[in-house]
Chain A
Amino acid sequence: MTKIVESAAEAVANIDDGSTILIGGFGNAGQPMELIGALLEGGAKNLTIVNNNAGQADEGLALLIKERRVDKIICSFPRQSDSWHFDEAYRAGEIELELVPQGNLAERLRAAGAGIGAFFTPTGYGTMLAEGKETREINGRNYVLEYPIHGDVALIKAFKADEKGNLIYRKTARNFGPMMATAAKQTIVQVEEILPTGSLDPENIVTPSIYTDVMVAIETESTALAAREQGAKN
C-alpha cells in the first residue's frame, strides 16, 4: 500500500541515523530537492548516500555534505566546477568516497532490485577501479564481478503519480529513479501531482505502484516547464 502524506517532512520522518539512502537525479534533473531539504531539517546523520554526483552548488545533496551528515558517498562523478562542499569535505578527510562507473552504478542498483546476487560486466576491466575484484574471461572477453547496491531508503522525484502509487517521469529527469525505486526497503517519492487512480494509461507506467511506499505531492519548476511545452505544441 502506498501512503500519501501531506509534507516532505512527514515523508522523511522515519529515516534513521546511519541509513543508506539512494537519491535520484543526474545533476539537478530529477533530484528530489524538497525531500532532501526535509532530510536536512530532520537532522539525520552518519548517512551513506548513493547518487550519480556529490552535490551541486548550495542546494540539495550539497547541503547535506556541507553539514557533515554524510559519512560515505557512492557515486560516479563527484568532482565538478560547483562541487565545492564535497571537495572541502573530501580534502579534509571527512567523507569516504566509493567511485563507481556510471553504468555500473545503474546496473548495481538494478541488480539489487531484481534479486541478482552479482554480475560480470566488461566495464572497468584492466583499470584501477577493478583492482582487487574478481575477474573472469567469458567467450574471449574479460569481465569484472560487481555486487548490488541495496538502500534502506530511496528518495526520488517523479513527474506524476496516481493514488495507487504508479509513477511516470519527465524527460531526462527519469535517470536513476526507476532503479532506485526497486532497490530500497522504503521508497519515498515526491511528484508534481497525484491523480485519481485510473488516470494514468497503464501502458505508460514506468514505475509500478508496488515499489512506491510513501508519496508526497510537491509542485516544482517541472510543472511550469511541462505547461510551457504543452502550450508550445497547441
Chain B
Amino acid sequence: MLRDERVDRNTLAELVANDIESGSFVNLGIGQPTLVSNYLTAEHDVTLHTENGMLGMGRAAEDDEIDGDLINAGKIPVTETPGAAFFHQADSFAIMRGGHLDVCVLGAMQVSASGDLANWHTGAPDAIPAVGGAMDLAIGAKQVYVMMNLFTREGEIKLLPKATYPLTGVGCVSRVYTDHGIFELSESGTVTVKALFGLTFEELTSKSDIEFVDATGN
C-alpha cells in the first residue's frame, strides 16, 4: 500500500482495526491504541480485555452510566457489554501471560528491528519510573502490534536497529503501525515494509541502518 500523505491517528486506528480478525480477544493499550475501538464494528465481533479485570469492555461511560467501580486500565469509567466477565488481577494477567489474547495494541517510544519494545521509561535519572502492566502486555498476547509516530518531534526515527531506551520486552513486537508506514518485524531483524505514507522507500532506507524489504506493492 502506498499513499502520498502521512496518515492521521484516526486513519491509522482504522487500518489497525481492519487487520484484526473477527472473533478476536484484544487488549488496547492506553493512549493512541484506544482509538482502534472506534473502528471495531459489530462484524469484527471483538471482545476487549482490560487488565484491571474484565473481558467484554464497552465504550467510555457517559453521564448517568459513570460508575466508579467500573473502570478501564487508564482509570477511565467504561461500560460493560452483554457477555462481559469480571475477574481478579491474577486471573487477568494469566489471560495475558498465558498467551490467550489474540492481539495487544500498544504505544511505543522505540521499537527495534527484531521486535524489542521500549515504552515505559526514558531512563532519565530524575524521572519517577512507573511500569503498570506494560511488561506483562508486551510478552503476553499472540500478536503484539505497536502504534506510534515513525519519527520523534526532533525528526529521529523510532524504529531502530537497537533500542536505546530501557526495554519493556525482548523480541515481542510483530508489527508496527505508524503515520508513515506499516512494518512487519522478524527475529532476524529484517523488516518488511507493508505500506508507506508520504515517504518513499529510498527516503526510509536513507534514515536507518535497518535492512528493509519493500513489500508495498503486494
A residues with CB within 8 A of B = 26-30, 52, 76-80, 87, 90-91, 97, 99-107, 109-110, 121-129, 142, 169-179, 206, 221-222, 225, 228-229
When A87-B128, A106-B93, A172-B70 are in contact, do A129 and B88 touch as well, CB less than 8 Å? Answer: no
Contact size range, B: 35 or more
* B67 pairs with A125, CB closer than 8 A: no
* B128 pairs with A176, CB closer than 8 A: no
Count A/B pairs, Cβ under 8 Å.
147
| Contact string against A for B residues 112-142, beta-carbon threshold 8 Å, 1 for contact and 0 otherwise | 0000100001000000111111111001100
Per the bound structure, the CA–CA distance linking A126 and B72 in Å amounts to 28
Query: Secondary structure at chain B's binding surface: helix, strand, loop or mixed?
Result: loop
Per the bound structure, the CA–CA distance linking A107 and B44 in Å amounts to 32
Q: Give the interface centre of A76, A87, A110, A123 by most chain B CB atoms within 10 Å.
A: A123
Q: Which of A30, A99, A106, A171 contacts B67 (CB 8 A)?
A: A171
**Which residues of A are found within 8 Å of B170, using beta-carbon distances?**
125-127, 142
Q: Which of B54, B131, B139, B166 contacts A77 (CB 8 A)?
A: B131
Q: Give the interface centre of B72, B87, B135 by most chain A CB atoms within 10 Å.
A: B135
Per the bound structure, the CA–CA distance linking A124 and B140 in Å amounts to 11
* A104 pairs with B54, CB closer than 8 A: no
Q: Is B75 an interface residue (CB 8 A)?
A: yes
**Which residues of B are found within 8 Å of A27, using beta-carbon distances?**
71, 75
Q: Shortest beta-carbon distance, B153 to chain A, in Å?
A: 21
* B89 pairs with A176, CB closer than 8 A: yes
**Which residues of B are found within 8 Å of A105, using beta-carbon distances?**
89
* A173 pairs with B129, CB closer than 8 A: no
**Which residues of A are found within 8 Å of B96, using beta-carbon distances?**
103
* B71 pairs with A127, CB closer than 8 A: no
Q: Which of A80, A123, A173 contacts B136 (CB 8 A)?
A: A123
